[in-house]
Structure formats: structure tokens, C-alpha cells
Amino acid sequence: MIAQGLQQLTQLVRDSDVIRQHELEDHPDIAFFTYRGDVKLVELPPLPRTHFVSSIGSLVEATKGFGKHGCPVWVSFSDVIALIDDEVNPDFQGRRSANICLSLKPSPIWNALVVATKAHSQQDLVDLLRHDFSDAMISPKLLDKVRQLKFSSQREEQGSFQQQNIEMGKKVAAQVAGSSEIPEAVSIEFEPFPSISEELEGFHVEIVCSVFVHIEKATISINPLPGQIDAAKVNSTAVVAAVLKKQLEDNLILLGKP
């Protein structure tokens, strides 16, 4: 069967100047490389595989014993990946590429901070603070103060008619009661990775935000100060790396993606 496949491929690519790779459905461990009519049969190494864990402790236990000085561990904001060699058949020196992955599952509050930057009606912002920020500590307290806001507007119209000219004027005066109670800035504190918060010893990030009341449009927005979110993400990643380093002293802990 393989010999027939070689003959067919040779005929198809005899005049081709491009190196092509062809795989057989029934033989995932074999590939054909063709170039100018020549066909080379190559035995492929086993595919890498990923083992998933759900905590820092389980990742630490899984990585122990791989390599003389421990396997390298990469830490990013989204996951932790330990690169290991996995035991397989002796045809490939008993090793194959594999890794152990811990998904960090960032808090949904990270996304809520982005949503909060948009201009919201009073009720929409109340709902956002009540629901999306329910697990965050906001100081000074903001929810009740937003509820107490009262937007109002007064409309004046003027009109004059002349023989060949019509003039209309419109004026809207917007007012808001209770805006003086709204703080100019708030601090939003939360756990960056709730699923492993105990292993991070209760570590919290703090984001300082400006609060803007748009009187004419009767909307409110909450905007993190420039650089606050990026700095908090870097700090959160560094804390995870530091916890890993305490438990994997012989491993190389790296920041980023492998």
C-alpha cells in the first residue's frame, strides 16, 4: 500500500519545484516529502501533548522529577506552562515533547473595567456595579451615591415669524442633583485569579479610576488611570511566578509564553 502511494506521488510531483509534505490517513506517524520527482519517506516523532491541571499545587507535583534541574516553567497572564519530556516507546529514545498547563482564569472584573469606561445611563451603571463588580471592593463606596443622582433638564423654545424668514431657537439646560457626592476617583480592589486565590495568599490588585459625570447626556463613566490595568496585570503575573519559585527552586521560572 505504501509502495503504491509512493508511485502515485512520484508521478504527480515529477515536475514540481516546490517541497511538499503529504500525509496518509491510515499512517499518522509517516509523511512523504516530494521535490522534483523525488520522494522521501519520513517517520514522524510522536505529537506533543498537553496535560491540564487546576491548581499551582498540582502543577508543582506534576513537574517534579522531570530533568536533572527541573523543567522550565513559563508564566503569563492567561496560563502557566511547564515544558516536560514525556516517556514513550524506545524508537524515539523514550522521549517526546509535552507540557503541563494551568489556566489562570482571570477574574471577570478585568473585563468589567473595560466596560465601565463607556458612558452609561444611571440605571445601567447601577446594574454594572451591583452585578459585575459584586466581588470587588470599591473605595470610597460608589453604588449608593450613583443611585442618589437625579438628572433633570429644562427646555426653552423661542420662535419668531417674519414675512420671508422663520427663526426657531432651542435651549436645553441640564442639571444633576447629588453630583457633589460622587468622588472624583475611586479605588477598585479584587482578586486577579479567583480560582487560585488561596494559593496566592489572598493577593489583591488595586486599580485607581476617575469617575466622570456627563451632565448634558445624563451618563456616567469610570475610567482607570493610564497604565493602571497593564501594571496590575504585570504585578499579578509576577506574584504567580514568585509563588512557583518558592515551590520549584530548581526550575527555571520565565515570564511570557514558550
Q: Could you tell me if 216 and 167 are in contact, meaning their C-beta atoms sit under 8 angstroms apart?
A: no
**pLDDT confidence of residue 5:** 54
| CA pair distance 30, 43, nearest whole angstrom | 5
Q: Could you tell me if 245 and 126 are in contact, meaning their C-beta atoms sit under 8 angstroms apart?
A: no
How is 190-202 classified by DSSP, letter by letter? E-S-GGGTTTTTT
| CA pair distance 3, 148, nearest whole angstrom | 82
Q: What are phi and psi of 183, to 5 degrees?
A: -70, 150
Q: Give pLDDT tens digits along the chain (258 positions).
A: 555 555 555 555 554 555 565 566 666 666 666 566 566 666 666 666 788 999 999 999 888 766 545 788 999 999 999 988 755 444 445 455 678 999 999 999 999 999 999 999 999 999 999 999 999 999 999 999 999 888 775 444 444 434 444 443 443 344 555 567 889 999 999 999 999 999 999 999 999 999 998 888 889 999 999 999 999 999 999 999 999 999 998 888 999 998
Q: How far is CA 240 from the centre of its chain?
A: 15
Across 161-194, b (16+ Cβ under 10 Å) vs e yields eeeeeeeeeeeeeeebeeeeebeeebebebbbbb
Q: Could you tell me if 176 and 151 are in contact, meaning their C-beta atoms sit under 8 angstroms apart?
A: yes
| CA pair distance 50, 30, nearest whole angstrom | 22
Task: Give 100's contacts (C-beta < 8 A, 6+ positions apart).
Answer: 50, 51, 52, 53, 59, 62, 63, 81, 82, 84
- Joined together, the cell numbers standing for residue 103 give 489556566
| CA pair distance 96, 157, nearest whole angstrom | 79
